[in-house]
Amino acid sequence: EAGVAQSPRYKIIEKRQSVAFWCNPISGHATLYWYQQILGQGPKLLIQFQNNGVVDDSQLPKDRFSAERLKGVDSTLKIQPAKLEDSAVYLCASASLGGGEYGYTFGSGTRLTVV
Protein backbone atom coordinates (compact mmCIF):
# COMPACT_ATOMS: atom_id res chain seq x y z
CA GLU A 1 0.00 0.00 0.00
CA ALA A 2 1.11 3.57 -0.58
CA GLY A 3 2.57 5.34 2.42
CA VAL A 4 1.70 8.64 4.05
CA ALA A 5 2.48 11.46 1.62
CA GLN A 6 3.65 14.84 2.85
CA SER A 7 4.61 18.02 1.04
CA PRO A 8 6.66 20.04 0.75
CA ARG A 9 9.74 18.15 1.93
CA TYR A 10 11.58 21.32 2.88
CA LYS A 11 10.53 24.89 3.55
CA ILE A 12 12.56 27.93 4.57
CA ILE A 13 10.67 31.04 5.65
CA GLU A 14 11.38 34.21 7.55
CA LYS A 15 9.92 34.72 11.00
CA ARG A 16 6.44 36.20 11.04
CA GLN A 17 5.66 34.63 7.65
CA SER A 18 3.02 31.95 7.24
CA VAL A 19 3.47 28.39 6.01
CA ALA A 20 1.26 25.39 5.30
CA PHE A 21 1.99 21.69 5.20
CA TRP A 22 -0.07 19.03 3.48
CA CYS A 23 -0.62 15.38 4.36
CA ASN A 24 -2.36 12.58 2.49
CA PRO A 25 -2.80 9.55 4.76
CA ILE A 26 -2.96 5.91 3.87
CA SER A 27 -6.27 5.12 2.21
CA GLY A 28 -8.86 4.00 4.72
CA HIS A 29 -6.99 5.20 7.78
CA ALA A 30 -9.48 7.06 9.92
CA THR A 31 -7.02 8.50 12.42
CA LEU A 32 -4.51 11.19 11.46
CA TYR A 33 -1.86 12.76 13.68
CA TRP A 34 0.48 15.72 13.32
CA TYR A 35 3.70 15.54 15.32
CA GLN A 36 6.45 18.13 15.73
CA GLN A 37 10.01 16.82 15.92
CA ILE A 38 12.61 19.35 17.03
CA LEU A 39 16.19 18.42 16.18
CA GLY A 40 17.58 15.97 18.70
CA GLN A 41 14.21 15.26 20.32
CA GLY A 42 11.45 12.73 19.97
CA PRO A 43 8.26 13.61 18.11
CA LYS A 44 5.65 15.51 20.10
CA LEU A 45 1.95 15.30 19.29
CA LEU A 46 0.32 18.49 18.07
CA ILE A 47 -3.14 17.36 17.01
CA GLN A 48 -5.13 14.21 16.34
CA PHE A 49 -8.10 13.76 13.99
CA GLN A 50 -10.61 10.94 13.81
CA ASN A 51 -12.16 11.11 10.35
CA ASN A 52 -12.71 14.88 9.96
CA GLY A 53 -13.17 15.66 13.65
CA VAL A 54 -10.55 16.82 16.14
CA VAL A 55 -9.93 14.28 18.91
CA ASP A 56 -7.20 16.17 20.77
CA ASP A 57 -5.58 19.52 20.07
CA SER A 58 -4.53 20.28 23.63
CA GLN A 59 -0.85 20.61 22.66
CA LEU A 60 -1.41 22.74 19.57
CA PRO A 61 -0.32 26.39 20.04
CA LYS A 62 -3.63 27.70 18.81
CA ASP A 63 -2.54 31.32 18.71
CA ARG A 64 -0.39 30.51 15.68
CA PHE A 65 -1.07 26.93 14.60
CA SER A 66 -4.21 25.66 12.91
CA ALA A 67 -5.09 22.37 11.27
CA GLU A 68 -7.95 20.88 9.36
CA ARG A 69 -8.77 17.58 7.78
CA LEU A 70 -10.74 17.90 4.60
CA LYS A 71 -13.57 15.38 4.16
CA GLY A 72 -11.80 13.04 6.55
CA VAL A 73 -8.91 12.40 4.16
CA ASP A 74 -6.18 15.01 3.47
CA SER A 75 -5.02 17.36 6.18
CA THR A 76 -3.25 20.69 6.30
CA LEU A 77 -1.28 22.22 9.14
CA LYS A 78 -0.70 25.96 9.08
CA ILE A 79 1.57 28.24 11.07
CA GLN A 80 0.87 31.96 11.10
CA PRO A 81 2.98 33.82 12.07
CA ALA A 82 6.03 31.58 12.35
CA LYS A 83 8.59 31.96 15.11
CA LEU A 84 12.23 30.86 15.17
CA GLU A 85 11.35 28.10 17.65
CA ASP A 86 8.96 26.55 15.12
CA SER A 87 11.98 25.23 13.20
CA ALA A 88 11.42 21.48 13.24
CA VAL A 89 10.30 18.51 11.20
CA TYR A 90 6.54 18.22 11.01
CA LEU A 91 5.48 14.61 10.77
CA CYS A 92 2.09 13.36 9.71
CA ALA A 93 1.00 9.87 10.69
CA SER A 94 -2.09 7.86 10.01
CA ALA A 95 -3.55 4.81 11.67
CA SER A 96 -6.38 2.36 11.46
CA LEU A 97 -8.35 1.18 14.49
CA GLY A 98 -6.92 3.89 16.72
CA GLY A 99 -3.28 3.29 15.98
CA GLY A 100 -0.76 1.35 17.98
CA GLU A 101 0.07 -2.04 16.64
CA TYR A 102 -2.89 -1.90 14.34
CA GLY A 103 -1.03 0.30 11.94
CA TYR A 104 0.57 3.64 12.75
CA THR A 105 2.55 4.92 9.76
CA PHE A 106 4.56 8.11 9.58
CA GLY A 107 5.30 10.17 6.50
CA SER A 108 8.80 11.44 5.80
CA GLY A 109 7.94 14.84 7.19
CA THR A 110 8.37 18.48 6.21
CA ARG A 111 11.54 20.12 7.47
CA LEU A 112 10.77 23.75 8.34
CA THR A 113 13.51 26.29 8.90
CA VAL A 114 12.48 29.69 10.21
CA VAL A 115 15.16 32.37 9.80
- Which residues of this chain interact with another protein, rule CB under 8 A? 4, 31, 33, 40-45, 48, 50, 55-56, 91, 93, 95, 98-102, 104-109
Nearer to another protein, 82 or 90 (CB): 90
**Strand runs (DSSP E) across the chain, as ranges?**
5-7, 10-13, 19-24, 31-37, 44-50, 53-56, 65-69, 75-79, 88-95, 104-106, 110-114
Nearer to another protein, 51 or 80 (CB): 51
Q: With helix as H, strand as E and coil as C, how does 82-103 read?
A: CCHHHCEEEEEEEECCCCHHHC
Report, in Å, the least distance between residue 60 CB and another protein: 13
Nearer to another protein, 82 or 110 (CB): 110
Report, in Å, the least distance between residue 49 CB and another protein: 10
Report, in Å, the least distance between residue 92 CB and another protein: 8
Q: Helix, strand, or coil here: 71?
A: helix
